[in-house]
Structure 1
C-alpha cells in the first residue's frame, strides 16, 4: 500500500514538473520571439540620442539623486551586517555577495516607492507620453492629454486629461515582503527573487499605455496573461538595471522610454506580439479600440 502511494506521489510530481517545464519553455520562447528584453536597452540608446527627453529627468535629478544616495548608503550602513549574519547560515561564503544583491534590490524598491510617489510621477509620465509623440503616436497620446502644435515632443505636452500612473500599491509591497525569504536559498533563491520582481515590474510598465487605450481591467489582464513571457523579460532586465547604485534614477527614465518604444511598436503592429502569434489578443485589442 505504502509503495503504491509513493509511486503515485512520484508520478504526480513528475507530471507537475513536466507541466511546469513545458510552461517555462513556452514563456522563454515567447519572450525570445518578442525581443521584449531588448527594449530597456533600446530605451537607453533612444534616450541618449534624443535630448528633448532629458528635460523631465533634469528637472528632478538633484532631489532624486540625493534620495538614492541617502537610501543606498543608509541601507548598507544599517542593514548589511545584520542581513549578512542571517544569510551566512543559508548561503555560506556566498552570503557576502548575495547580501549585496539583496540590499541593492531593497534599496531600489525603496527608492522606487518614494520617488515615484513623491518626486517622479509627473516626470515619468511626461517621458512616456513624450516618447510616444516622438514616435508619431500622437493619436493615442491625445486620448490622455492635450497636445500643443510645434516644438519638441516634451514642449508639445499639454494638460493631462487622464490621471497618471497608479501609485505603488500596498499589495505590491506585501508581495515583495512575501518573496524576500527566497534569498535564504543560495544563489538560486536570489535569482528566483529577482525574476519574480521582474515579473511584477513588467506587469506595470504599460499601465499608461493601457490607460490611453481605454482598456478595461479584464482586457488588460487578458493581454498580460497571454504575454507573460515578454513582460517578465522586460521587467527582469529593467529591475536589474534599476539595481545599479546611484544610476537607478537614469535607468528609471530609460526604462520608461523603452516601455513607450515598445508600446509604439505594438500600436504600429511591428512586433511579434501583433503579427499572428496571439490572434486572441489582437481581437481583444481591436475590441478595446
Structure 2
C-alpha cells in the first residue's frame, strides 16, 4: 500500500510539473485573449526589471564573486553572476507582484478558469459578464486573494540564500525549499474561490504535497530566469489555473477535505 501511495505521488508530481512547464506556456500562447493582462503591465515591469538588475550588479556582484572565489574557484565570476541574476529576479517578482501585476495575475487565473468552463467557480470571487472573450467577461472583483507584501517569503529567501554558495547541490536544495512554499501559494485564488477554511486548505495541500512541490519547483526555477521571469509568472499562473480546472472537472477533492466541509456546515 505504501509503495502504491508513493507511485501515485510521483505520477502526480510528474504530471503537474509537465503542466507547469509545457501546458501552461502552450495554453497561454494559443489563447491570445489571455495575453491582455500581461501586455497591459509590460512596460512598467520591464522598466522595474532593468532598474533592479542594474542596481544588484552594482551593489552585490563583486562581494559575492569574492566569496565564491573560495567555494567555486575559477568559475566564481560566472557563478556570482548567475546568483546576482537570481536575486534580481526574486526582487523583481516581489515588487512587481506587490505593486504592478497583482490584479493582472488574478485576471489571468480567472480568465483561464472561464476558458475551461469553470464559470460557477469564478462567480464566487467576481462578477462575470455575458459577452466577449474570457478576459473581457471578467467583471468587478469581489475578493482579492494576494497579500500586498509577504515579508515571511522574503525572510525565508534570505535565510536560504547561502545554500547557493554550495556548488550545484546547494542551488537544487534552494529551489526545492522555495518550491515547497511556492506550490501551494499558486492556488491561493483557487482556495479562495472554493471558500475553503484553513484546515480544508491544509488537508488538500497535504493530499497533493508531491504535486505542489513539483509545481512550485518548476515555477520558481522558471521565474528565476532574468527578464523572461515576467512572462513565466503569467504562464505559471495559467498552469496553476489549468490544474485547478482539472481538479474541478474531475472532482478530485480529497475525502478529508469533504469531511471537513461537512463539519463546517
Q: Do Structure 1 and Structure 2 share a fold, with TM-score over 0.5? A: yes
TM-score (norm 1): 0.83
Matched, 1:33 2:8: no
Matched, 1:163 2:139: no
Once the 2 structures are TM-superposed, how far is the Cα of residue 104 of structure 1 from its aligned partner? 2.4
Matched, 1:239 2:229: no
Q: Secondary structure at the match of 2:243?
A: helix
Check the 8 A contact 1:150/1:156 in 2, yes or no: yes
Give me the CA root mean square deviation.
2.5
The equivalent of 2:164 in structure 1 is 183
Distance (whole Å) between structure 2 residues aligned to residue 53 and residue 132 of structure 1? 11
The equivalent of 2:70 in structure 1 is 89
Distance (whole Å) between structure 1 residues aligned to residue 139 and residue 224 of structure 2? 33
Q: Secondary structure at the match of 1:236?
A: helix
Check the 8 A contact 2:24/2:238 in 1, yes or no: yes
Check the 8 A contact 1:27/1:228 in 2, yes or no: no
Cα pair distance change 1:191/1:285, threshold 3 Å: farther
Number of paired residues?
A: 262
Cα pair distance change 1:62/1:261, threshold 3 Å: same
Matched, 1:138 2:119: yes
Candidates 19, 32, 37, aligned match of 1:51: 32
Check the 8 A contact 1:94/1:186 in 2, yes or no: no
Once the 2 structures are TM-superposed, how far is the Cα of residue 162 of structure 1 from its aligned partner? 1.1
Q: Looking at CA atoms only, which structure, 1 or 2, has the larger radius of gyration?
A: 1
Check the 8 A contact 1:75/1:103 in 2, yes or no: yes
Cα deviation per residue 1:216-272 (whole Å; 9 max; x = unaligned)? 1111122212322111111111111111111111111111111101100011117xx
Q: 5 Å matches for 1:238-257?
A: 238-257=219-238
Check the 8 A contact 1:80/1:100 in 2, yes or no: yes
Candidates 211, 220, 230, aligned match of 2:211: 230
Distance (whole Å) between structure 2 residues aligned to residue 284 and residue 38 of structure 1? 31
Distance (whole Å) between structure 2 residues aligned to residue 179 and residue 29 of structure 1? 30
Q: Secondary structure at the match of 1:203?
A: helix
Cα pair distance change 1:62/1:189, threshold 3 Å: same
Q: Secondary structure at the match of 2:140?
A: strand
TM-score (norm 2): 0.90
The equivalent of 1:264 in structure 2 is 245
Once the 2 structures are TM-superposed, how far is the Cα of residue 113 of structure 1 from its aligned partner? 1.1
The equivalent of 1:109 in structure 2 is 90
More deviation, 135-144/157-166: 157-166
Once the 2 structures are TM-superposed, how far is the Cα of residue 203 of structure 1 from its aligned partner? 2.0
Once the 2 structures are TM-superposed, how far is the Cα of residue 176 of structure 1 from its aligned partner? 1.0
Candidates 193, 196, 212, aligned match of 2:177: 196
Matched, 1:78 2:59: yes
Cα pair distance change 1:100/1:224, threshold 3 Å: farther
Once the 2 structures are TM-superposed, how far is the Cα of residue 279 of structure 1 from its aligned partner? 4.2
Matched, 1:215 2:196: yes
Distance (whole Å) between structure 2 residues aligned to residue 168 and residue 31 of structure 1? 33
Check the 8 A contact 1:122/1:164 in 2, yes or no: no
Cα pair distance change 1:131/1:160, threshold 3 Å: same
